[in-house]
């Protein structure tokens, strides 16, 4: 055997899984299709659940997050002139951390480098073999050379467009999907955030989100039609549209500036069941996608990794297979809850083209319900801060 676990994908899922396994004395090799610079240039998630914060600490990759991350005790939801604050701390006794996925990924690469885990970048033609036997293998091309690694288990951490999920025969897989008719145009700028907490703004012009990475770095999103391209939106047009969607008091405070990055992400809900096929396990975006409205994508990847590490360690150390037998069902229970929450948040906050007056009225009624009912706010807060693992 060349290594114990071959991990396909060097995004947050693959790196965190490797880190947790290595710290339990298990050998891993990571295969990543892109360069490290490319992986680190992707601007994605920004909100980390406390359970995930604790998992990063446990993995020995939480020190910079604890220094530089910003704990948030609440967030604001608005609907035109109506606004409601969701006080996480008061409603649940918990909070979330504002810390970018880019930073987490950089911290995990640093931690993996310190351990000395082999990470192959720019690999091509990854082929997963023999996962129904006790000795699977992964073949790949790197630097023009074909290589093959035999192992005990394969972890498919290769995102939505990866190869791992496709190894499971179609008749053994069940897929669930909802594609939404809009995307989010995101903009990053060196400006102070418009508000000290995140604002999720529903409006008759569509959704907007005011988020941040630090006291001097803001991240904003606006809902745009699926056909739009980032180049269709000048910085000035973006800022103008954002102002029209944010609550008036916030819009007046908005500091604009040149964008550092602008990109569009389509919104999708997707689950592929089960997460295990023989000795192959799917983790994170390889198995499921949520619309970003509930800030759950990265956090679900972390809970998958947590469950899988907890299953693989006894399987490799003591030949105890109960954990790996239960991995898929355990992870899916948490995944489906986050699917439901992200879908509900998406429906509540976005304008759907061609929707009727009833749909718009229901969105408004949902807001009024949140304003009126502490029970409704607690339900939202419990899901937003993340269910226990
Ligand atoms: P990733 O981050 O996609 O990493 C997978 C890695 O696998 C590599 N790969 C391969 N490597 C080898 N061989 C192959 N055949 C391979 N195919 C792919 C890829 O190059 C990549 O490096 O999945 P992972 O690790 O599961 O992490 C999941 C999170 O990245 C994801 O859930 C979130 O970023 C989702 N997401 C967001 N989540 C949030 O909570 N808040 C957000 O604001 C948010 N914004 C986003 C997002 C996802 C986006 N995507 C996937 C397009 C914005 C975007 C644009
Ligand atoms: C972000 O800061 O990128 C972010 C925050 C919350 C979300 C989605 C994205 O729900």
**What range does the domain containing 213 cover?**
180-266+351-385
Map the chain to HEC letters.
CCCCEEEECCCHHHHHHHHHHHHCCCCEEEECCCCHHHHHHCCCCCEEEHHHHHHHHHCCCCHHHHHHCEEECEEEEEECCEEEEEEHHHHHCCCEEECCHHHHHHHHHHHHHHHCCCEECCCEEEEEECCCCCCCEEEEEECCEEEEEECCEEEECCCCCCCHHHHCCHHHCEEEEEEEEEEEEEEEECCCCCCCCCEEEECCCCCEEEEEEECCEEEEEEEEECCCCHHHCCHHHHHHHHHHHCCHHHHHHCCCCCEEEEEEEEEEEEEEECCEECCEEECHHHCEECCHHHCCHHHHHHHHHHHHHHHHHHHHHHCCCHHHHHHHHHHHHHHHHHHHHHHHHHHHHCCCCCCCHHHHHHHHHHHHHHHHCHHHHHHHHHHHHCCCC
One of 180, 296, 327, 350 is an active-site residue; which one?
296
Question: pLDDT-derived band of residue 141, with 50, 70 and 90 as boundaries?
Answer: very high
If one residue of 156, 287, 292 were mutated to test the ligand 1 pocket, choosing by the most ligand atoms within 8 A of its CB, it would be 292
Question: pLDDT-derived band of residue 382, with 50, 70 and 90 as boundaries?
Answer: very high
The answer to whether residues 173 and 218 belong to one domain is no
Q: What is the model's pLDDT at position 149?
A: 98
Centroid of ligand 1 to alpha carbon of 156 (angstroms): 12
Mean pLDDT of 125-148: 98
The answer to whether residues 105 and 241 belong to one domain is no
Q: What's the CATH number where 150 sits?
A: 3.50.50.60
Is residue 5's pLDDT more than 90? Answer: yes
Average pLDDT of the residues of the chain: 97
Question: pLDDT-derived band of residue 247, with 50, 70 and 90 as boundaries?
Answer: very high
The number of domains in the chain is 2
The answer to whether residues 137 and 160 belong to one domain is yes
The answer to whether residues 38 and 105 belong to one domain is yes
Let me know if 292 is a catalytic residue: yes
Kindly state whether residue 298 falls inside one of the protein's structural domains.
Answer: yes
Mean pLDDT of 208-235: 97
Mean pLDDT of 169-196: 98
Mean pLDDT of 312-324: 97
The answer to whether residues 211 and 308 belong to one domain is no
Kindly state whether residue 57 falls inside one of the protein's structural domains.
Answer: yes
Kindly state whether residue 80 falls inside one of the protein's structural domains.
Answer: no
Kindly state whether residue 89 falls inside one of the protein's structural domains.
Answer: no
Question: pLDDT-derived band of residue 81, with 50, 70 and 90 as boundaries?
Answer: confident
Kindly state whether residue 76 falls inside one of the protein's structural domains.
Answer: no
Q: What's the CATH number where 262 sits?
A: 3.30.9.10
The answer to whether residues 216 and 278 belong to one domain is no
The answer to whether residues 355 and 253 belong to one domain is yes
Let me know if 314 is a catalytic residue: no
Kindly state whether residue 13 falls inside one of the protein's structural domains.
Answer: yes
pTM (two decimals) = 0.97
The answer to whether residues 277 and 336 belong to one domain is yes
Mean pLDDT of 380-386: 98
Kindly state whether residue 143 falls inside one of the protein's structural domains.
Answer: yes
The answer to whether residues 143 and 154 belong to one domain is yes
The answer to whether residues 281 and 231 belong to one domain is no
The answer to whether residues 99 and 165 belong to one domain is yes
Mean pLDDT of 168-177: 98
Mean pLDDT of 315-334: 97
Is residue 371's pLDDT more than 90? Answer: yes
Mean pLDDT of 66-77: 98
Kindly state whether residue 140 falls inside one of the protein's structural domains.
Answer: yes
The answer to whether residues 282 and 168 belong to one domain is yes
Residues within 6 Å of ligand 1 by CB: 8-14, 31-34, 39, 44-46, 101, 123, 126, 157-159, 161-163, 265, 284-285, 292, 295-298, 301
Q: What is the model's pLDDT at position 204?
A: 92
């Amino acid at each position: 055997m060349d290594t114990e676990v071959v991990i396909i994908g060097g995004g947050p899922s693959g790196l965190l899984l490797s880190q947790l396994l290595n710290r339990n004395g298990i050998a891993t090799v990571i295969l990543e299709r892109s360069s490290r610079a490319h992986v680190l240039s992707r601007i994605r998630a920004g909100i980390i659940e406390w359970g995930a914060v604790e998992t990063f600490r446990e993995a020995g990759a939480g020190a910079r997050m604890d220094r530089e991350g910003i704990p948030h005790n609440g967030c604001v939801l608005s609907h035109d002139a109506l606004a409601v604050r969701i006080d996480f701390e008061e409603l649940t006794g918990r909070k979330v951390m504002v810390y970018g996925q880019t930073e987490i990924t950089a911290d995990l690469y640093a931690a993996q480098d310190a351990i000395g885990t082999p990470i192959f970048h720019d690999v091509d033609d990854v082929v997963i073999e023999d996962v129904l036997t006790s000795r699977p293998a992964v073949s790949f091309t790197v630097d023009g050379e074909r290589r093959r690694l035999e192992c005990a288990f394969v972890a498919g951490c290769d995102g939505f467009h990866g190869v791992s999920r496709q190894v499971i025969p179609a008749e053994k897989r069940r897929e669930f999907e909802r594609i939404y008719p809009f995307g989010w145009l995101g903009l990053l700028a060196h400006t102070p955030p418009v508000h000290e907490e995140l604002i999720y703004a529903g409006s008759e012009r569509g959704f907007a989100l005011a988020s941040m990475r630090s006291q001097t770095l803001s991240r904003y999103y606006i809902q745009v039609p699926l056909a739009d391209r980032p180049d269709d939106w000048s910085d000035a047009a973006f800022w103008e549209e954002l102002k029209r969607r944010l609550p008036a008091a916030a819009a007046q405070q908005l500091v604009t500036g040149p964008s550092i990055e602008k990109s569009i992400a389509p919104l999708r809900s997707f689950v592929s069941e089960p997460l295990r096929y023989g000795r192959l396990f799917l983790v994170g975006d390889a198995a499921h996608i949520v619309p970003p409205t509930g800030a759950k994508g990265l956090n679900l990847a972390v809970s998958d990794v947590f469950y899988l590490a907890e299953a693989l360690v006894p399987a490799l150390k003591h030949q105890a297979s109960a954990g790996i037998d239960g991995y898929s069902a355990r992870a899916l229970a948490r995944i489906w809850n986050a699917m439901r929450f992200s879908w509900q948040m998406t429906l509540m906050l976005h304008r759907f083209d061609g929707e009727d007056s009833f749909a718009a009225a229901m969105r408004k009624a949902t807001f009024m319900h949140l304003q009126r009912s502490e029970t409704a706010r607690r339900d939202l807060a419990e899901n937003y801060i993340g269910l226990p693992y």
